[in-house]
A and B are shown apart, each in its own frame.
Chain A
């Protein structure tokens, strides 16, 4: 979140509510449950870390928040570093894999039944994301995020199918 907010300030200084609106637009349907205060918490932390500065600005009278935030040179450097970074979130399958192994070893539960229950849950999430993507009003860029979520969940389903095959054969 911090890096994202910094990067959004790279173009020009902005109000907190402006940043929030841009974030929501970029997230599409997935941005609906974004916490309103989150952007300000983040901005405060960035200010304390010396990555942004802010000053009061004469703005719109109906906006309580009239601070305009801008990147400091340190902030600019961090944005550059963030953009060149290639870290990638790892899908964490270890936990579920070990759950199956442990359940089977101790005869706590039928691994195939665990896979089934997990498959239903993944399918439920996939259905939700795929339904959101049907809405024609979703902007194509925001739609990419939904597509990514759907593709990942499809990969999870394929993996669960493989789990089911192997564990069924061991029964």
Chain B
């Protein structure tokens, strides 16, 4: 089953001679359970592509499908709901809320999705356990290391059982020990069958990917499935 599909996906900025195609007529099919690493130098369009796939931006042209449903032309409200319930985002800068504890950060998207406070807290607790941070549940982000914050962010991305997790340079701010923890976590997700797309220039991500895409100038230069 195809979980993520793109057809002729393009994103343009500027016009006339200043026209830049950040993403240039990309076709992509990502199967359910696949872990895909999209790699390339900065400016190659990989972050923009990820934002298009997750409905964070709308393409200039082309189509985006998620689990068999076309999402690029949805209303803003419908799209917001998809971003909340069906996609988990992980960012380089973590984007945790400083005023909230780890467990509150993780449960917030579940509360917004309409789960009861009790169910949301229960689920958040399970996920913090899964990422090895049960003992940090009531710490605030500033009391956590970078690696711990990213693991909280990953737990938050998983709270609504998304169809796909999209990660943008998830190890970009981490030292090598913390990177290793995040890679181990991604490897567990891969084994659990979570569809995962990571854009990065950190080639270590390849360790947990079963498909590598090299991107240059908005296009795919190489696409290989690994065994």
Binding site for B on A (CB under 8 A): 116, 119-120, 123, 126-127, 130-131, 133-134, 136, 147, 150, 153-154, 157, 161
Contacts and interface: CB of A to CB of B under 8 A. Distances in A.
Given A120-B224, A161-B41, A133 B203 contact: no
Given A123-B212, A136-B184, A161-B41, A130 B222 contact: no
B187 interface: yes
30 contacts: A116-B221, A116-B222, A120-B222, A123-B203, A123-B206, A123-B212, A126-B203, A126-B204, A126-B206, A126-B207, A127-B203, A127-B206, A127-B207, A127-B226, A130-B204, A130-B207, A131-B207, A131-B208, A133-B180, A133-B207, A134-B180, A134-B184, A134-B207, A134-B208, A147-B176, A150-B204, A154-B203, A154-B204, A157-B203, A161-B41
Interface secondary structure of A, over-half rule: helix
A163 to B, nearest CB: 12
Nearest to A156: B203
B152 interface: no
Nearest to B221: A116
Most chain B beta-carbon contacts within 10 A, residue among A120, A126, A133, A157: A133
Contacts of B184: 134, 136
Contacts of A127: 203, 206-207, 209, 226
Given A127-B209, A127-B226, A154-B204, 20 more contacts: A116-B222, A119-B214, A123-B206, A123-B212, A126-B203, A126-B206, A127-B203, A127-B206, A127-B207, A130-B203, A130-B206, A130-B207, A133-B180, A134-B184, A134-B207, A134-B208, A147-B176, A150-B204, A157-B203, A161-B41
B21 to A, nearest CB: 17
A94 to B, nearest CB: 23
4 residue pairs, one from A and one from B, having the closest CB atoms: A130-B207, A127-B206, A131-B207, A130-B204
Nearest to A136: B184
Nearest to B186: A134
B183 interface: yes
Contacts of A133: 180, 207
B185 to A, nearest CB: 10
A157 B39 CA distance: 11
Contacts of A153: 203
Contacts of A130: 183, 203-204, 206-207
A74 B22 CA distance: 65
Contacts of A147: 176
A147 B183 CA distance: 14
A100 to B, nearest CB: 17
Interface string B39-63: 0010000000000000000000000
Nearest to B207: A130
A123 B180 CA distance: 17
A65 to B, nearest CB: 38
Contact of B183 (A126, A134, A157, A161): A134
A136 B183 CA distance: 12
Nearest to B217: A168
Contacts of B207: 126-127, 130-131, 133-134
A126 B183 CA distance: 14
B175 to A, nearest CB: 11
